[in-house]
Every structure is written in C-alpha cells, then in structure tokens.
Amino acid sequence: MSFIRPEAKLTLWRWREVLVAGAVLLVGLSWISGPGGLLGWLGWVLVLVSVALAVIGIQRARFRTGAGGPGVVTIDEGQITYLGPLDGGIVAAREIERLALDPTSSPAHWVLEQPGQPVLHIPVNAEGAEALFDVFSALPGLKTEQMLAELNSGAPHQVVIWERTPTRPAHLRLH
C-alpha cells in the first residue's frame, strides 16, 4: 500500500536530480553555518556541487516528457535500439548524421538519421527514452538548451536540432 498518489510519485521521480541537489545544498549550508573550520569549507564545495546538480537536473527533467509511450528504447555500448509496436531499428550513436524533432506526430518523435540505414523515429515518451539525453548531449556542437526549447515549443513542422555536416547554405542558420 502506497501513501503517495501515482501522479505525485511520477512528478517526484521526474525531478529527482533537482531534489537530490536540494538535499546536498541543505547539508552544505548546515556545514557552513555549523561548526565551521574544515567542515565549513567542505560545505562551500557541497553548495557548488548542488548548483551543478540542479542545473543538470532541471535540463533532464525538461527532457523527460512522460512515460508509457509506444515502444522501448535501449542504449548499449553506443548503439541506440528502438523496438516499437509497428517498427523499430538500430542507430550507432557516433554515426548519427542528423537529429530532428517531429512534433506533428502524436506523440512527438525524435528522428535519427544515419548513412546507409533507414531513418529511425522514436517517440519522445517511449520507455527508456530519457536515456537519449546523454546520447544527444554528447553530439559535438549540440546546444542542449535549444534542443529543450524545441522539445517544449510545439512547433508546427519538423525541426532539425543537430546535423554533422550542414546541408543548407552557410548564410542560413539552423535555428
């Protein structure tokens, strides 16, 4: 028997890194205001660590758009695998050529392109899709804040988030 409603539990789980950052901040502040000395200095380190954890946690929470969507995403040794009810596929993370977001689908889909492979469409709320944040963050030159803004904007058309080699004229910007 659980004393926490399922909706509240999901919300707490979505913001888990931020909650941990808050706890670390409280410990750091108590060490600073407490005995002082070496423990006070370590408290300042914990305050800095909690700020970094909070920034990362907020980004991750914004990336998590829900769960229970169609299909399952797994990432193993740099290989993204999506197994869906109607389709699926595999893409090597280091060989992704283009990452796009298609908000016109219901639910929205990540569109991953790799040369020589069919385009892979992954629902943003597929089980395990939150692990894609780390893969996308590792793409060279990807602007995480722009990706999160596009994810939550509800654009009326497919948006290219990142591409390895630009296919547009140099004077046109990506975003």
Q: Which residues of the chain have a pLDDT value below 70? A: 1, 167-175
- Domains identified in the chain, total number: 2
Q: Is residue 168 part of a domain?
A: no
In the chain, the DSSP E strands lie at: 69-76, 79-83, 88-92, 98-102, 109-113, 120-123, 126-127, 159-163
Residue 55 pLDDT = 94
**pLDDT score recorded for residue 145:** 86
- Other CB atoms within 10 Å distance of the CB of residue 73: 22
The DSSP line for 132-144 is HHHHHHTSTT--H
Q: What is the DSSP letter of 124?
A: T
Distances (CA, A) of 138 to 9, 65, 91: 29, 20, 15
Question: Does residue 29 belong to any structural domain of this protein?
Answer: yes
Q: Within this chain, do residues 74 and 154 fall inside the same structural domain, yes or no?
A: yes
CATH number of residue 135's parent domain: 2.30.29
Is residue 113 classed as helix, strand or coil in its secondary structure? strand
pLDDT given for residue 2 in this prediction: 73
Total-model pTM = 0.77
pLDDT value for 12? 83
List, for residues 79-105, the tens digit of each pLDDT value.
Answer: 999 998 888 899 999 999 999 999 888
Q: Would you say residue 123 lies in a domain?
A: yes
Asked whether residue 141 falls in the same domain as residue 73, the answer is yes
User: In angstroms, rounded to a whole number, what is the distance separating the alpha carbons of residues 83 and 104?
Assistant: 21
Q: What is the residue range of 12's domain?
A: 6-63
Query: What span, in angstroms and rounded, lies between the C-alpha atoms of 86 and 88?
Result: 7
Is residue 1 assigned to a domain?
no
Amino acid at 107: P
The pLDDT value given to residue 168: 61
Q: Indicate if 89 and 127 belong to the same structural domain.
A: yes
Q: Report CA 105 to chain centroid distance, whole Å.
A: 19
Residue with tokens 């700020």: 51
Check residue 172 and give its pLDDT: 59
The predicted pLDDT at position 54 comes to 95
pLDDT tens, residue by residue, 106-123: 888 999 999 988 999 999
pLDDT of residue 173: 59
